[in-house]
Amino acid sequence: MSDTLTAKSFGIKSILEELGIKENNYGASTGLKHIQTKGKKIDSYSPVDGQLIGSVNAATVEDYEKVMATAEEAFKVWRLMPAPKRGEIVRQMGDELRKYKDPLGKLVSYEMGKSLQEGLGEVQEMIDICDFAVGLSRQLYGLTMHSERPKHRMYEQWHPLGVVGIISAFNFPVAVWSWNSMLAWVCGDVCIWKPSSKVPMCAIACQNIIAAVLKRNNVPEGVSCLVIGNESGDLINNDKRIPLVSFTGSTKIGRHVSKTVAERFGKTILELGGNNAIIVSKDADLNMVLVGAVFGAVGTAGQRCTSTRRLIIHESVYDKTISVLRNAYGQLNIGNPLDSSNHVGPLIDRNATQEYLTAIEKAKQEGGKLIVEGKVLTGNGYESGCYVKPCIIEAKNDFNIVQHETFAPILYVMKYKTIEEAIAIQNGVPQGLSSALFTNSMREMELFLSTTGSDCGIANVNIGTSGAEIGGAFGGEKETGGGRESGSDAWKAYMRRQTNTINYSDSLPLSQGIKFDF
């Protein structure tokens, strides 16, 4: 591994300065005003080289209350602004993100550990959702219905909810926030964001970037709020002033969020675990399978909710597919993700490394066979202790460890005889996010996408499980949580539906022909 791209040579200090991040970072913000918090100190270390990026004090309960009070007041003004005007402000945010795409993409890569190409891609995703939201601001449509009563008109309309809480995960430090916030903003909501404490600098950078747009448009203080620190997560979940909480994270924490918010009759969008599988048909193009499976399994070091965890291969092409995969894994370059010659970067921290090792050991204990061995890498360039070798394990779908999502580059492979069996294996896990089938058989395609096919929120044919376009609604079923973000009609989650009936006659007939004379 090259040791030329250290924090110093990469220029992280100048990147932080360009993004307006100073040594005394704040742990809370209401848009333009930064709050110097006094909570627990949070250090952000890069998994790339183990270097300290910066520190921030978490928001206290008092800080949180200041932010919430400001957000509530901002909502009273923001909701009255015409939706196309709100969309215009989001358009300007997209332009501002274009200006800072390079430094923000580099910070995402350095603080999270994903490849520079993926870091830049994540910022592009933010830009794309801004563009989507601009058009959406003129398309918040309701329906018109025919009334059964004469001279009555029925229709439905959508109103903003209020303050939307966004709790995001480390693996997509900025994109998931934008999926939620840009749509919520054009819908008339204001947002309070609690980012992962593992990547606080990315969140501060985003708040700094859009601050110029907020100021230029005289947007009320509190439309875009930020609170950093784990304590703020439960403050959001328990807060009756927040009608919607969008949470991205583990199934374990998702259960807690769901229960807590439901107990106060709040709404949730939950993007939780994935245990995604690719089915490789006997009619599959193995060249395409290779790209989809390898990127799906090792991209972002296996730390995507859509990462490929299982490869279900037809018995007739099993040996050939394994041979092709083993050869491809042997060519993977593992190292500094800022170096474009590397395919695989680090896991987020050493806790993730330990979970990777534990998963491999459990798979072996259950009878799994190592096809490509995994290990933690040490030595020159791997000093952070977060680099691991992607591995492949021959396993059975009912292994306990296979049923569990491990956020690491571990790929389980298994055989099948019929497409029906393959679909049953694919569906035979608690999670239901993303799925894929590689085949040239029209019958298999249609069966996979039918009512009796994949039970996931995302089902692809001849592309992998990882990666999604912002035009489609993103989300899953079962223990993946439910709810949708990003495209299609996902905007409806950020608004409340209201049915209206207008009587323009000179009498008051009752519905269903009911008579009530007196």
What sign has the CA pseudo-torsion 434, 439, 442, 444? negative
Number of Cβ atoms within 10 Å of the Cβ of 281:
24
C-alpha 191/C-alpha 245 separation (Å) is 10
- Whats the size of the chain, residue-wise? 518
φ, ψ dihedrals at 262, nearest 5°: -65, -35
What sign has the CA pseudo-torsion 6, 226, 352, 120? negative
Cα 194–Cα 196–Cα 197 angle in degrees, nearest 5: 105
Catalytic site residues?
A: 271, 305
C-alpha 227/C-alpha 220 separation (Å) is 18
Kindly write down the DSSP assignment for every residue of 2-33, as one continuous string: --S--HHHHTHHHHHHHTT--SSB-SEESSSP
C-beta of residue 300 within 8 angstroms of C-beta of residue 307: yes
Q: Is residue 410 within a helix (H) or strand (E), and if so which, with residue range?
A: strand 410-416
Instruction: Name which of 342, 306, 359 is nearest 169 in CA terms.
Output: 306
The partner residues of 34 in beta bridges, in order of sequence, read 29
Kindly write down the DSSP assignment for every residue of 103-167, as one continuous string: HHHHHHHHHH---HHHHHHHHHHHHHHHHHHHHHTT-----EEE-SSTTEEEEEEEEE-SEEEEE
C-alpha 355/C-alpha 361 separation (Å) is 10
Tokens 């959702």 belong to which residue? Answer: 129
Instruction: Name which of 238, 229, 165, 177 is nearest 200 in CA terms.
Output: 229
Q: Which long-range contacts (CB under 8 A, 24 or more apart) does 264-270 make?
A: 264/238, 264/240, 266/240, 266/242, 267/161, 267/243, 267/493, 268/244, 268/481, 268/483, 269/180, 269/244, 269/245, 269/475, 269/481, 269/483, 269/484, 269/485, 269/493, 270/480, 270/481, 270/482, 270/483
φ, ψ dihedrals at 117, nearest 5°: -60, -40
Burial of 6 (0-12, 13-18, 19+ CB in 10 A): middle
